């Protein structure tokens, strides 16, 4: 009996040890399986988080004069219409699949202003797709480019234009009114529409720094009063003044000058980019140290000889800047980052010379 008892105990011990080892191995497998599952889950969550982060900026909603535009994902194909919007895209390193030809200030038959051509060359683009649409938008040509977004932040598109364009792609339109978008807003609206808001902010900062450095060379401009006045040799009885709401007027203020109160008081619509003025009321311009206009020396001479306009203080002392019609400089006074970089030296030189005559 004792021997059988010992054998039974020995058998029990072996079986117990076997079970302990078996359970231990099973535990390790379970642990390994659990760890693997945890790693897979973590990896899956990480991947999902990455996707969420990548898409976290979308959809982008841009409010404008015609309502709002929704950009569902980053556009790959960017089209641009009317004035300067393509220059913003190019300044950000994006070549539009198509853009409107320039209809003013172009020195050749290319449809390209010199700063646009220069940037295209820098980006190694030899044959850009330029819309021949100076007589009206070429909707078919725009559609043929199969764009993901259409840039029109600085433009004069109508509600009808907008409705047609939105059938092609989301449209980035102006916020307040036609032709009122400043160069900063041009950049921010168009850059946001391209999914490049941060890059747009950097472009604005770089351009502001450039302007500040250039203006430092012309301290005589600071505090001068200025007005942009268009004269016509065909009709000296009426003047045309660009307001500070217009990009041309706004840029003059950015260069350190201000519009005189006598002119500001005559602006009935603060959101209008221009206003008319009778030559009989031209005396309100006597408070302007500097006058700027499109035109040449022959127009300036005609203005000086006019019995009413010739009495304007700036005309009499010669503190005027007449910018040749149809020149690149004349086109650049509606500024954007590329044109500012290309023509600001020339523009400031003319303004500085006019300011010097005020101080004589």
Model confidence over 208-230: pLDDT tens digits?
999 999 999 999 999 999 999 99
Query: b or e along 222-234 (b: 16 or more beta carbons within 10 Å of the residue's beta carbon)?
Result: eebbbbbbebbee
| Distance separating alpha carbons of residues 194 and 141, to the nearest angstrom | 20
Last residue of a domain, one of 215, 239, 267: 215
The pLDDT score that the predictor gives to residue 49 is 34
| Distance in Å from the first CA to the final CA of the chain | 134
| Distance separating alpha carbons of residues 302 and 74, to the nearest angstrom | 54
Q: Are both 210 and 97 inside the same structural domain?
A: yes
pLDDT tens digits, 289-325: 999 999 999 999 999 999 999 999 999 999 999 999 9
Domain assignment of residue 266, yes or no: yes
Domain assignment of residue 81, yes or no: yes
pLDDT tens digits, 23-37: 344 444 444 444 444
Total-model pTM: 0.81
User: 258, 88, 51, 323: which is closest to 184 by C-alpha?
Assistant: 88
Domain assignment of residue 5, yes or no: no
| Containing structural domain, residue 243 | 220-359
Q: Per-residue pLDDT for 335 more than 70? A: yes
Mean pLDDT of 237-256: 93
| DSSP-assigned beta bridge partners for residue 59 | none
Domain assignment of residue 179, yes or no: yes
Please tell me the number of Cα atoms within 13 Å of 99 on its side-chain side. Answer: 29
Q: Are both 144 and 232 inside the same structural domain?
A: no
Q: Are both 339 and 312 inside the same structural domain?
A: yes
CATH of the domain at 171: 3.40.50.1980
Domain assignment of residue 1, yes or no: no
pLDDT exceeding 90 applies to what percent of the chain?
Answer: 77
Q: Are both 201 and 78 inside the same structural domain?
A: yes
Domain assignment of residue 26, yes or no: no
Q: Are both 183 and 296 inside the same structural domain?
A: no
pLDDT tens digits, 146-170: 999 999 999 999 999 999 999 999 9
Q: Are both 72 and 209 inside the same structural domain?
A: yes
Question: Which residue shows structure tokens 């198509």?
Answer: 98
| Distance separating alpha carbons of residues 105 and 327, to the nearest angstrom | 4
What's the number of domains the chain is made of? 2
Q: How many CB atoms lie within 10 A of CB 254?
A: 18
Q: Per-residue pLDDT for 12 more than 90? A: no
Last residue of a domain, one of 215, 238, 272: 215
Q: Are both 71 and 210 inside the same structural domain?
A: yes
The pLDDT score that the predictor gives to residue 24 is 45
**Residue 294: DSSP 8-state:** E
Q: Are both 67 and 197 inside the same structural domain?
A: yes
| Distance separating alpha carbons of residues 226 and 314, to the nearest angstrom | 10
Mean pLDDT of 15-23: 40
Task: State the SS3 of 144-183.
Answer: HCCCCEEECCCCCCCHHHHHHHCCCCCEECCCCCCCCCCH
The residue length of the chain stands at: 360
**Residue 131: DSSP 8-state:** E
The pLDDT score that the predictor gives to residue 272 is 86
Q: Are both 231 and 342 inside the same structural domain?
A: yes
At what angle are helices 183-193 and 197-215 packed, to 10 degrees?
A: 160
CB 150 within 8 A of CB 171: yes
Domain assignment of residue 250, yes or no: yes
CB 281 within 8 A of CB 311: no
Give just the sign of the alpha carbon dihedral 191, 195, 197, 200: negative
Q: Are both 142 and 179 inside the same structural domain?
A: yes
Mean pLDDT of 86-113: 95
Q: Are both 76 and 211 inside the same structural domain?
A: yes
Lookup: tokens for 287:
């408070």
| Distance separating alpha carbons of residues 97 and 80, to the nearest angstrom | 8
Choose the most confident range, by mean pLDDT, from 10-14, 41-45, 261-265.
261-265
Domain assignment of residue 2, yes or no: no
Lookup: tokens for 155:
């433009």
Lookup: tokens for 254:
């950015």
Q: Are both 194 and 276 inside the same structural domain?
A: no
| Distance separating alpha carbons of residues 266 and 254, to the nearest angstrom | 22
User: 113, 287, 85, 114: which is closest to 191 by C-alpha?
Assistant: 85
Last residue of a domain, one of 166, 196, 215: 215
């Amino acid at each position: 009996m004792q021997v059988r008892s010992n054998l039974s105990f020995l058998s029990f011990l072996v079986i117990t040890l076997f079970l302990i080892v078996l359970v231990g191995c099973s535990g390790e497998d379970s642990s390994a399986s659990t760890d693997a599952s945890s790693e897979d889950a973590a990896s899956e969550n990480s991947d999902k988080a990455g996707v969420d982060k990548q898409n976290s900026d979308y959809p982008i909603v841009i409010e404008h004069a015609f309502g709002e535009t929704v950009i569902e994902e980053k556009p790959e194909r960017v089209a641009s219409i009317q004035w300067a919007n393509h220059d913003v895209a190019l300044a950000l390193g994006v070549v539009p699949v198509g853009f409107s030809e320039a209809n003013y200030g172009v020195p050749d038959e290319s449809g390209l202003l010199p700063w646009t051509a220069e940037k295209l060359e820098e980006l190694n683009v030899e044959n850009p797709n330029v819309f021949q649409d100076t007589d009206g938008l070429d909707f078919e040509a725009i559609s043929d480019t199969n764009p993901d977004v259409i840039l029109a932040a600085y433009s004069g598109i109508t509600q009808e234009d907008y409705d047609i364009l939105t059938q092609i792609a989301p449209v980035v339109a102006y916020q307040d009114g036609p032709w009122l978008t400043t160069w900063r807003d041009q950049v921010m609206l168009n850059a946001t529409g391209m999914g490049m808001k941060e890059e747009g902010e950097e472009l604005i900062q770089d351009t502001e720094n450039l302007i500040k450095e250039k203006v430092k060379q012309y301290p005589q401009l600071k505090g001068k009063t200025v007005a942009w006045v268009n004269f016509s040799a065909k009709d000296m009885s009426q003047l045309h003044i660009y307001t500070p709401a217009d990009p041309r007027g706004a840029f003059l203020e950015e260069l350190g000058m201000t519009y005189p109160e006598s002119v500001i008081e005559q602006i009935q619509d603060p959101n209008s980019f221009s206003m008319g003025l009778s030559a009989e009321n031209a005396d309100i311009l006597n408070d302007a140290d500097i006058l700027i206009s499109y035109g040449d020396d022959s127009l300036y001479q005609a203005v000086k000889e006019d019995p009413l306009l010739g009495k304007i203080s700036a005309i009499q002392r010669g503190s005027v800047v007449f910018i040749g019609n149809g020149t690149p400089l004349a086109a650049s006074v509606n500024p954007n980052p590329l044109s500012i970089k290309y023509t600001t030296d020339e523009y400031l030189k003319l303004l500085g010379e006019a300011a010097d005559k005020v101080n004589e």
